[in-house]
């Protein structure tokens, strides 16, 4: 964790009279707690101040101001007294000499558990920043699994830290903001805490793309009075129409968040002055029935835009979010986004999982939505460390679609999921015996990505079973792990581990037959040499696959494996110089390939670029522009503060790489692109 802390050896930074003033002001925010709870919180405040009294942040503020802000955010999120107490004390195990036992003796095991949970995700004794980030997030997920309040305290901590990020060095600003945008903001969204999600997104944009942030801020400020007048008129029209139907409503007006405007500019390739739907209103009412009545009123007042209506009441999001969304065209020619929900739905949308957390009633349980999220997080936490971050981003924090069973049950899946993913999402046995699939009563290929709101049915057969090719197109981590597990258990000709497939091959045909076949078939561009001699491995089913440390093969490299006595299968790049020194290599070699193997042309390349937050997505977009498929990619910050990335792309034809490389060079931040192994 990046520490925003300066230790001072002088007298305490806050005088006694100043401390009493802060405490008296803070007490005014605690009136909804019992007297006993208030005493506990104030006791924690005094203790935290005593422990942090000689510490200040990089901003120059006394350090106690930070935990005080965290506690206030937790109160705003309607959390219980123990969470607020832990918020005040969340840094003491890391930044002071207090022991865990002393904390437990003062405030009990629950507060210790919460503070210890946050502390665990902050202290990681590793030197590599990438490993540190991954393991920090993993520890956070483990802590969440035991008590969801741990992540709520972390989000409150992150929210306040992002407001003071300007006092950190620029390179740390960007790294912290990027992590916030990739992990914490999406996680807040998945937990349904949209007020925190949008705030974290806007603050991340401020530090990652300050010029864009300032441009949007200036643009919106120019016509602020005009927009306010427009929204006030719309508000009056809707309120008046609702009263005629005897519906009492509360209308909130707003301009869209900076980050959502930036995403619209980026995704649609438009300049700021080409975007018109900056405005939105939110209509709050008492009942669900009134929501639909109000939708009809809004569509009567203004013309709805085609394809812009979403019903999250009939089909709530996985985090419990419920609302009606529509976009209408007003008489002035300005599009307007309208959200309609009950007051209770609005509370859930603002505070998400915090609104469902039942500690106030002495319960420790979550609703089914958030319990399902924790199950997903628990599942990916069991993955090997190299898979964890990709699984987190791709399976949990990604955009999702809703699909239905013929019985009307709703399932939420990552965008890009296939019928195989859907089958395994329902049950392992259905996935293992999936024979075919229908979407909206039409037969579809098993590898075709599903679309939002499709009704999907799976046909099974006792004789059907997973195929190696399924690993080429499944989207979810659950489906991939189930397919790998089945193949490892039932297919004696393959061993799958570390995203590598090792398989037996038959002995090469006689020379005469080889010659005849070569005359009949054109040479194909394959990653594997099919003439390798197979090795019997079916007598031992627990063989492990290891990547050679000498050449460090990465997805997309041409690779070769051999059976090592006592160590399983060792995988090298096929051009590794150490292969010549391996005794009996020809007798012990075995076919290996990456799970994403295909007969298409592949190319690995290296990119150097100036530091920007969205380099990965820009490169991925440049690749897709020429129908390329990104097999693997990684970007790391160098000691110089710029970026170095390694990518492997799959193409229909080898010549497509020239177009892709040219497209990547047009990205402003890219300094150079270097072709690596051609295969």
The residues annotated as belonging to the active site are 94-95
CA 94 to chain centre: 27
CA dist 566 and 588 (Å) reads: 13
How many residues are recorded in the chain?
679
Residue showing tokens 């599009």: 335
Cβ proximity of 247 and 285 under 8 Å: yes
Residue showing tokens 């005794």: 583
Token readout for 665 is: 């060079």
315 Cβ contact list (under 8 Å, min separation 6)? 402, 410, 453
DSSP string, 305-350: PTT--EETTTS--TT----EEEEEE-TTS-EEEEEEEEHHHHHHHH
Q: CA Rg, the chain, in Å? A: 29
Nearest to 134 by CA among 320, 375, 313, 388: 388
649 Cβ contact list (under 8 Å, min separation 6)? 602, 603, 604, 605, 623, 628, 629, 630, 631, 657, 660
CA dist 479 and 428 (Å) reads: 8
Nearest to 416 by CA among 464, 465, 372, 477: 477
Nearest to 462 by CA among 433, 431, 490: 433
- C-alpha separations of 568 from 258, 489, 494, 555, 563 in Å: 53, 17, 13, 20, 6
Left (φ > 0), alpha (ψ -120 to 50) or beta: where does 662 sit? alpha
β-pairing verdict for 6-7 and 55-56: antiparallel
- C-alpha separations of 260 from 79, 257, 276, 400, 569 in Å: 28, 5, 13, 17, 48
- C-alpha separations of 532 from 507, 562, 576, 592, 622 in Å: 8, 11, 17, 10, 37
Nearest to 525 by CA among 654, 408, 656: 654
Residue showing tokens 């971050």: 389
DSSP string, 566-611: TTEEEEEETT-GGGGGSTTHHHHEEEEEETT--SSEEEEEEEEE--
Cβ proximity of 675 and 607 under 8 Å: no
Determine how many CB atoms are found less than 10 A away from the CB of residue 382. Answer: 11
In 645-654, which positions are buried (b, 16+ CB within 10 angstroms) versus exposed (e)?
bbbbbbbeee
Token readout for 56 is: 């200040």
């Amino acid at each position: 964790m990046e520490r925003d802390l300066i230790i001072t050896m002088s007298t305490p930074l806050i005088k006694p009279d100043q401390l009493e003033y802060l405490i008296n002001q803070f007490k005014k925010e605690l009136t909804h707690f019992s007297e006993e709870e208030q005493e506990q919180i104030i006791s924690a405040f005094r203790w935290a101040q005593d422990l942090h009294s000689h510490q200040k942040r990089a901003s120059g503020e006394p350090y106690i101001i930070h935990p005080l802000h965290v506690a206030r955010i937790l109160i705003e999120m309607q959390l219980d007294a123990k969470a607020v107490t832990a918020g005040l004390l969340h840094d003491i195990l890391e930044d002071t000499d207090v022991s865990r036992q002393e904390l437990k003796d003062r405030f009990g095991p629950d507060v210790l558990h919460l503070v210890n949970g946050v502390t665990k995700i902050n202290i990681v004794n590793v030197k590599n920043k990438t490993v540190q980030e991954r393991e920090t997030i993993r520890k956070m997920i483990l802590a969440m699994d035991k008590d969801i309040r741990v992540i709520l305290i972390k989000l409150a901590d992150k929210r306040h830290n992002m407001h003071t990020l300007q006092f950190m060095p620029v390179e740390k600003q960007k790294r912290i903001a990027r992590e916030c945008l990739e992990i914490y903001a999406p996680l807040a969204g998945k937990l349904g805490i949209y007020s925190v999600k949008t705030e974290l997104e806007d603050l991340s944009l401020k530090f990652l793309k300050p010029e864009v942030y300032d441009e949007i801020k200036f643009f919106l400020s120019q016509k602020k009075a005009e927009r306010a007048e427009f929204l006030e008129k719309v508000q009056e029209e809707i309120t008046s129409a609702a009263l005629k139907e005897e519906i009492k409503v509360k209308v909130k007006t707003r301009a869209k968040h900076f980050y959502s405007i930036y995403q619209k500019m980026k995704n649609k390739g438009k300049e700021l002055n080409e975007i018109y739907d900056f405005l939105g209103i939110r209509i709050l009412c008492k009942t669900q029935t009134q929501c639909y009545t109000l939708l009809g009123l809004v569509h009567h007042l203004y013309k709805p835009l085609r394809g812009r209506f979403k019903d999250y009441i009939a089909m709530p999001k996985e985090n419990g979010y419920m609302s009606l969304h529509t976009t209408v065209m007003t008489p002035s020619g300005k599009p307007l986004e309208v959200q309609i929900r009950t007051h209770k739905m609005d509370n859930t949308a603002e505070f998400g999982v915090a609104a469902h957390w039942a500690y106030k009633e002495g319960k420790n349980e979550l609703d089914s939505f958030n319990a399902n999220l924790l199950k997903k997080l628990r599942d990916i936490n069991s993955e090997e460390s190299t898979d964890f971050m990709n699984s987190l981003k791709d399976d949990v924090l990604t955009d999702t679609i809703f699909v239905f069973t013929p019985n009307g049950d709703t399932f939420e899946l990552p965008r890009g999921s296939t019928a195989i993913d859907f089958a395994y999402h329902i049950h392992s046995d259905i996935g293992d015996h999936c024979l075919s699939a229908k979407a909206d009563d039409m037969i579809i290929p098993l590898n075709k990505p599903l679309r939002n709101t499709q009704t999907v049915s799976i046909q099974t057969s006792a004789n059907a079973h997973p195929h190696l090719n399924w690993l080429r197109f499944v989207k979810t981590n659950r489906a991939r792990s189930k397919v790998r597990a089945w193949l490892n258990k039932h297919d004696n000709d393959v061993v799958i581990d570390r995203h590598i497939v090792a398989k037996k091959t038959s002995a090469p045909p006689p020379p005469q037959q080889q010659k005849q076949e070569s005359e009949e078939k054109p040479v194909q561009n394959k990653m594997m040499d099919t003439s390798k001699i197979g090795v019997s491995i079916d007598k031992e089913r627990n063989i492990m696959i290891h990547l050679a440390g000498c050449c460090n093969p990465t997805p997309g490299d041409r690779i070769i494996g051999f059976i090592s006595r006592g160590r399983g299968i060792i995988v090298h790049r096929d051009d590794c110089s150490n292969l010549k020194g391996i005794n009996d290599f020809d007798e012990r070699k075995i076919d290996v390939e990456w799970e994403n193997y295909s007969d298409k042309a592949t190319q690995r390349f290296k990119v150097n670029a100036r530091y920007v937050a969205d380099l990965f997505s820009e490169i991925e977009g440049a690749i897709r522009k020429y129908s390329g498929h990104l097999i693997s990619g990684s970007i790391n910050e160098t000691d110089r503060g710029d970026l170095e990335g390694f990518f492997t792309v799959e193409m229909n034809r080898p010549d497509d790489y020239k177009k892709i490389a040219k497209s990547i060079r047009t990205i402003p931040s890219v300094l150079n692109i270097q072709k690596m192994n051609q295969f």
